[in-house]
Amino acid sequence: MSLLTYRKLASLLVVALTMAGLLAVAPGQAKAAEFRVATAANFSDAAREIGALFEAKSGYRPLFSFGATGQLYTQIAQGAPFDVFLAADQARPERAVAEGLAVADSRFTYAWGRLALFSRDKGRVTGEATLHEGDFTKLAIANPLTAPYGAAAVEALQALSLRDALTPKLVQGNNASQAFQFAATGNAEVGFVALSQLAVHEGGSYWVVPAKLHSPIAQDAVLLTAGKDSEAAQAFMAFLKSDAARAVLARYGYES
Amino acid sequence: MLDFAELWSPIRLTLELATVTTLVLLVIGTPIAWWLARSQSRWKEAVAAVVALPLVLPPTVLGFYLLILLGPEGPGGWIAGLFGGRTLAFTFEGLVIGSVFYSMPFVVQPIRNAFEAFGERPLEVAATLRASPWDRFWSVALPLARPGLLTGAVLGFAHTVGEFGVILMIGGNIPGETRVLSIAVYDYVETLQWTKAHILAGGLLIFSFLVILTMMLLDRRLGRRLGQSTP
């Protein structure tokens, strides 16, 4: 292949992309019975389960998009077509309301999250002592600027007076899920993750970080402007408060 | 007030990563390109396809395999063990390894093209003058392939600067170690620090334009030269 054929390839690509664009019918439009939920990564497993229950009951199908809360907020602010926002904090849903991106009186706390220190090695995490001893090379956390579980992790380190000592060992995942994945693959020996992520994970060792070591992780839901007339989205917001949803939350280690 | 040290750190790191990656790729990519251009082996195109894989594979696939290969159970963990570590993920060296795979086709392909372009003739002539195979490679093939080497180096460098997905998956976002430009831009956008995002993104835009322009000019020069040598 010469450089010239690279050029031919490029022009072929342009043609293919144009055709794909023409063929795509009304992209980005959910079907009537579907609605879109921007969901904090830590909540993904529980959200899928609650979503399945909700669909069985109502016939409406939630389409979940997972990411760091800050990342999702940026997308919403740029007009992403989400109907509901399940954040991992209160600040972003509050801000969404303030910026006119969400329905003012729809905001409520659907879950209180708990932070856990996790290792895939059995017996490695015994409690607070694991952090004080520092017998590891890498400690994974979620990005504290965009992910509330990352911010909580930094607060916990601060409360234990370990922040300066452990900062050189920190590796940042983009969100709680990636922090968990770094620890689950063993690339980081330990990681601060959401307790909810450990509900579906077997093996390893973990310590639930006492709630007094960080500000409470209140996870707020809010109905976005795009979903304000959607019956499905409104029903889903109500369903989050139901006993059925609460039972799922409890199983994933959330307090509600 | 803007903190320029904060902006400079990912720029310097990215330049270092791209430089090291390009040098490594020239050293290991040139013999591969030579073999691909000269070999009669039936496995030749299969090897070429493996080299070209990153053109097609999503960076997430590469990132996923790298995370495992660099980790404590993979060869990367073993290598890290020699230096007292336990994984190559989250290290500069890990990023170099990832980038070498990721940018390999962009370096190997132009060099292979250049080796193929001048054909057997100059090498045969050199052989009749009793040049050893080694001598033929160094004194005839490499100088003739210089445009291809240059193209490969520029493309490899630029492609590494533009790398994002693989680094997002194996980097761990450590300032000064794995927080490269593309990741820094992503972070600034996500945290709504758009002034900083604009500075870095604008810089990358200008850089990329200059690289592509250089490539097109090089391409024309190469084309002319080949035009002259074809009877």
A245 and A124, same domain (yes or no): no
Question: Are A208 and A223 part of one and the same domain?
Answer: no
Separation in Å, CA of B125 to nearest CA in chain A: 25
Lowest mean pLDDT, pick from A208-217, B28-37, B68-77: B68-77
Does this model's pTM top 0.90? My answer is: no
Rounded-to-integer distance, Cα B181 and Cα B162, Å? 8
Residues A202, A242: one domain?
A: no
Strand partners, A141: A172
Lowest mean pLDDT across A29-33, A128-132, A184-188: A29-33
Q: Is the dihedral of CA B208, B209, B211, B216 positive or negative?
A: positive
Q: What is the mean pLDDT of residues A234-252?
A: 96
Q: Which of A174-188, B157-171, B173-187, B215-229 has the lowest mean pLDDT?
A: B215-229
Q: How many C-beta neighbours within 10 Å does residue A251 have?
A: 14
B193 pLDDT band, cuts 50/70/90, is confident
Residues A131 and A168 in one domain: yes
Distance from CA of B175 to the nearest CA of A (A): 10
Lowest mean pLDDT among A18-22, A91-95, B179-183: A18-22
For residues A77-99, give the mean pLDDT: 93
Residue A127 lies in a domain: yes
* Average pLDDT, rounded, for chain B: 89
Q: For residue A13, which of A1, A25, A21, A23 has the smallest C-alpha distance?
A: A21
Residue A142 lies in a domain: yes
Tens digit of pLDDT for each residue in A201-231? 888 999 999 999 999 999 999 999 999 999 9
Specify the CATH number for the domain of residue B89: 1.10.3720.10
Q: How far is B113 from chain A (nearest CA, A)?
A: 6
Domain count, chain B: 1
- Probe site for chain B from A180, A187, A192 (most B CB atoms < 10 A): A187
Give B-chain residues touching A70 at CB under 8 angstroms. 190-191
Check residue B192 and give its pLDDT: 75
B217 domain residue, yes or no: yes
CA distance A254 to A46: 10
CB contact at 8 A, B80 and B86? yes
Contact across the interface for B71 and A186, Cβ inside 8 Å = yes
User: Does residue A96 lie in a domain region?
Assistant: yes
Q: Is residue B42 part of a domain?
A: no
Percent of chain B clearing pLDDT 90 (strictly above): 61
- H/E run at residue A53: helix A44-58
CATH code assigned at A101: 3.40.190.10
Tell whether B54 is within 8 A of chain A (Cβ): no
B86–A140: do the CB atoms touch at under 8 Å?
Answer: no
Residue of B nearest to A75 (CA): B190
Same structural domain for residues A209 and A221?
no
Query: Interface pTM (ipTM) of the complex?
Result: 0.71
- CA distance between the termini of chain B: 63
Both A158 and A133 in one domain: the answer is: yes
Residues in chain A whose Cβ is within 8 Å of chain B: 1-4, 68, 70-71, 74, 77, 137-138, 140, 143, 145-146, 170-174, 181-182, 185-189
Same domain as A223, residue A202: no
Decide if B87 and A3 are in contact by the 8 Å CB cutoff: no
pLDDT exceeds cutoff 90 at A240? yes
Q: Which residue of A has its CA nearest to B70?
A: A187
Half-sphere exposure of A119 (CA within 13 A, CB side): 19
- CB A30 within 8 Å of CB A63: yes
- Per-residue pLDDT, B224: 62
| A117 membership: H or E segment, kind and range | strand A115-119
CB A234 within 8 A of CB A105: no
What is the band of B6 on the pLDDT scale with cuts at 50, 70, 90?
confident
Interface-testing mutation among A1, A2, A3, A146, with chain B (most B C-beta atoms within 10 A): A3
| Higher-pLDDT residue of A22, B32 | B32
Residue A25 pLDDT grade (very low, low, confident, very high; cuts 50, 70, 90): very low
Give yes or no: residues A119 and A209 share one domain. Answer: yes
Confidence category of residue A136, pLDDT binned at 50, 70, 90: very high
Domain total in chain A: 2
What is the percentage of chain A residues whose pLDDT exceeds 90? 74
**Alpha helix (H) ranges present in chain B?**
4-38, 44-52, 59-70, 75-82, 92-117, 121-128, 133-135, 142-144, 146-161, 165-170, 181-190, 194-229
Do residue A143 and residue B187 have CB atoms under 8 angstroms apart? yes
Identify the band that residue A80 occupies on the pLDDT scale cut at 50, 70 and 90: confident
Closest chain A residue to B71 measured between Cα atoms? A187
In a domain, B50, yes or no: no
Range of the domain at B91: 4-34+57-224
> Residue B172: pLDDT above 60?
yes
Which residue of B44, B186, B190, B225 to mutate against A (max A Cβ within 10 Å)?
A: B190
User: Looking at the partner chain, which of A3, A70, A137 has a beta carbon nearest the beta carbon of B190?
Assistant: A70
Does residue B19 or residue A25 have the better pLDDT? B19
Lowest-confidence region among A86-90, A116-120, B165-169, B217-221: B217-221
Q: Of A25, A24, A55, nearest to A37 (Cα)? A: A55
Taking the Cβ of residue B68 and every Cβ of chain A, the question of whether any pair is shorter than 8 Å is answered with: yes
Identify whether B39 is part of a domain. no
Q: State the average pLDDT over residues A135-142.
A: 95
Of A68, A138, A182, which is closest to B190 when you measure between CB atoms?
A68
Q: Please judge whether A145 and B174 are an interchain contact, meaning their C-beta atoms are less than 8 angstroms apart.
A: no
**Interface contact B165, partner A, CB < 8 A:** no
| Contact call for residues A176 and A112 (beta carbons, < 8 A) | no
Same domain, A222 and A186: no
* Structure confidence at residue A28 (pLDDT): 47
pLDDT for residue B86: 82
State the pLDDT at residue A59. Answer: 94
Q: Is residue B41 in some structural domain? A: no
> For residues A138 and A160, what is the distance between their CA atoms, to the nearest angstrom?
18
Same domain, yes or no, for A60 and A143? no
- Do residues A200 and A223 share a domain? no
A255 phi and psi, to 5 degrees?
-100, 140
Report the pLDDT value the prediction gives residue A84, as an integer from 0 to 100: 97
- Rounded Cα distance between B129 and B118, Å, is 18
Domain coverage including residue A197 = 114-213
Q: For residue A138, is pLDDT > 50?
A: yes
CA distance A203 to B77: 21
Q: Closest by alpha carbon to B14, among B203, B231, B181, B192?
A: B181
Same domain, A122 and A206: yes
Distance from CA of B130 to the nearest CA of A (A): 31
Q: Under an 8 A CB cutoff, do A70 and B109 touch? A: no
Indicate whether B230 pLDDT > 50.
Answer: no
Interface A:B, Cβ pairs < 8 A: 68
What per-residue confidence (pLDDT) applies to A7? 59
What backbone torsions phi and psi does residue B125 show, to the nearest 5 degrees?
-60, -45
- Chain B: closest CA distance from residue A43 (Å): 19
Mean pLDDT for the stretch of residues A91-119: 95
Query: What are the structure tokens assigned to B93, written together?
Result: 């060296």
Interface contact B187-A145, CB threshold 8 A: yes
Residues in chain A closer than 8 A to B187 (CB atoms): 143, 145-146
pLDDT exceeds 70 at position B228: no
Residue B38 pLDDT > 70: yes
Average pLDDT, chain A: 89
